[in-house]
Amino acid sequence: MNGSEMHPTLTPVRFGERTLPAILRGSARRFPADTFLRFLDPASPEASPRSITFSEFEKGVHRAAAFLRNVGVRPGDRVLLVAENSPEWQFVALAAQLLRAEPASAFANLAAEPVRDIARRVRPKVAFVSGPEQWLKLAPAADELGGLGLTALISRQMLSNGAGPSGIRLASATEACGDGAVALDPAEADALVDAVGPNDPFLLLFTSGTTGRPKGVRLPQRAIVHAIDGGNASVGTGRGDVGVHFLPFAHVAGHDQFALALAQGHSLLMASRREDIERALSLGPTYVFSVPLVYERIRGGVEAKCAALPGPLRSLARAALEAAQRTRVDGSRRLGDRLLTGVADRLVGRAVRARLGGRMRGLFVGGAACAPALFRFFEGLGIPLVELYGMTETAGLVSSNLLLGRRRPGSAGYVTADHEVRFAEDGELLLRGPLLFSGYLDPEDTDGAWTPDGFYRTGDIGRIDEEGCLRIEGRKKALLVLSTGKKLSPEPVEQAIAATPPFLGAVLLGEGRPFVSAAVFVEPRVLAELSAAGRDPSDALLASARNALGAFSDFEKPKRILVIEGAPYDHPDLVTPTLKVKRDALLSFLGSRLLALYDAGPEGPGSVAGPGGRP
Q: Find the CATH number of the domain harbouring 572.
A: 3.30.300.30
pLDDT the model gives residue 307: 84
Chain segment 354-402, per-residue pLDDT in tens: 999 999 999 999 887 788 889 999 999 999 999 999 999 999 999 999 9
Determine the average pLDDT of the residues in 230-256. 95
pLDDT-based confidence at residue 40 (cuts at 50, 70, 90): very high
Residue 4's pLDDT band (cuts 50, 70, 90)? very low
Tell me: do 107 and 172 sit in the same domain: yes
Label residue 253 by pLDDT band (50, 70, 90): very high
Whether residue 614 is contained in a domain is answered as no
Residue environment code for 501-538, b if the CB has 16+ CB neighbours within 10 A, otherwise e: ebbbbbbbbbeebebbbbbbbbbeebbeebeeeeeebb
Q: What is the per-residue pLDDT for 163?
A: 64
Closest CA to 430 of 394, 403, 479: 394
Counted residue by residue, the chain has a size of 615
| Confidence (pTM) | 0.88
Residue 209 confidence (pLDDT) above 80: no
Averaged pLDDT, 2-24: 83
pLDDT at 214: 87
> Is 491 inside a domain boundary?
yes
Choosing from 428, 451, 475, the residue where a domain stops is 475
pLDDT tens figures, 559-607: 999 999 988 888 888 888 777 888 888 888 988 888 888 877 666 555 5
Say whether pLDDT at 23 is over 90.
yes
DSSP 556: G
The DSSP call for residue 336 is H
Q: Which structural domain, as residue segments, surrounds residue 318?
A: 292-475
Q: Where are the alpha helices (DSSP H) in 42-125?
A: 54-70, 87-98, 112-122
Starting at the earlier edge strand, list the strands of the sheet with 560-565: 503-509, 517-522, 560-565, 607-609
Most confident of 1-5, 51-55, 536-540: 51-55
Q: How confident is the model at residue 615 (pLDDT cuts 50, 70, 90)?
A: very low
Q: Which residue has the higher pLDDT, 209 or 9?
A: 9
pLDDT exceeds 70 at position 541: yes
Q: What separation in angstroms does the CA of 442 have from each of 149, 206, 445, 446, 454?
A: 18, 11, 6, 8, 19
Same domain flag for 47 and 96: yes
In this prediction, residue 600 carries a pLDDT of 72
Examine residue 549 and state whether it is found in any structural domain, yes or no: yes
Domain count, the chain: 3
- Considering the domain architecture, whether residues 308 and 175 belong to the same structural domain is answered as no
Distance of CA 215 to the CA centre of its chain: 16
Compute CA distances 546 → 188, 386, 409, 500, 518, whole Å: 65, 28, 21, 10, 10
**Dmax of the chain from CA atoms?**
76
User: Under 8 Å CB-to-CB from 558, ≥6 apart: which residues?
Assistant: 508, 515, 516, 517, 518, 542, 545, 546
Bridge partners of 267, per DSSP, are 242
Within this chain, do residues 467 and 518 fall inside the same structural domain, yes or no?
A: no
Provide the CATH number for the domain around residue 443. 3.40.50.12780
Q: Let me know whether 303 and 435 are in one domain.
A: yes
204 belongs to a structural domain: no
Q: Is the pLDDT of residue 612 over 70?
A: no
Return phi, psi of residue 433, to 5°. Answer: 155, 180
Give the whole-angstrom CA distance, residue 226 versus residue 18. 8
pLDDT (0 to 100) of residue 581: 86
Backbone angles phi, psi at 74, to 5 degrees: -130, 170
How many CB atoms are located within 10 Å of the residue 431 CB? 23
- Residue 244's DSSP bridge partners are 269, 288
**Paired residues of 289 in beta bridges:** 364
| Model pLDDT for residues 143-172, shown as the tens digit of each residue | 999 999 999 999 999 886 656 677 889 999
64-78, 209-223, 255-269, range with the lowest pLDDT: 209-223
3-state secondary structure of 560: strand
In a domain, 215, yes or no: no
Mark whether 464 and 495 lie in a shared domain.
Answer: no
Mean pLDDT of 433-459: 95
**Cβ-contact 23, 259 below 8 angstroms:** yes
Q: Are 179 and 314 found together in one domain?
A: no
Confidence class for position 106, pLDDT limits 50, 70, 90: very high
d(CA 569, CA 579): 6
Residue 509 parent element (H or E): strand 503-509
Domain boundary among 260, 285, 310: 285
In whole angstroms, what is the distance from residue 527 CA to residue 483 CA? 32
Q: Is the pLDDT of residue 3 over 50?
A: no
Contact 150, 127 (CB under 8 A): yes
Centre a 10 Å sphere on the Cβ of residue 252 and count the other Cβ atoms it contains.
28
What are the two backbone dihedrals, phi and then psi, of residue 514, each rounded to the nearest 5 degrees? -80, -15
What is the rounded distance in angstroms from the CA atom of residue 173 to the CA atom of residue 32? Answer: 23
Averaged confidence pLDDT in the chain: 91
Distance CA 548, CA 526 (A): 17
pLDDT-wise least confident of 174-183, 407-416, 596-605: 596-605
Judgement on whether residues 514 and 587 belong to the same structural domain of the protein: yes
Q: Are 238 and 267 in contact (CB under 8 A)?
A: no
Q: Are residues 506 and 570 in the same domain?
A: yes
For residues 406 and 542, state if they share a domain: no
Question: Do 575 and 596 fall into the same domain?
Answer: yes
Q: Which of 303-307, 401-405, 465-469 has the lowest mean pLDDT?
A: 303-307
Per cent of the chain over pLDDT 90 is 68
- Are residues 112 and 39 part of one domain? yes
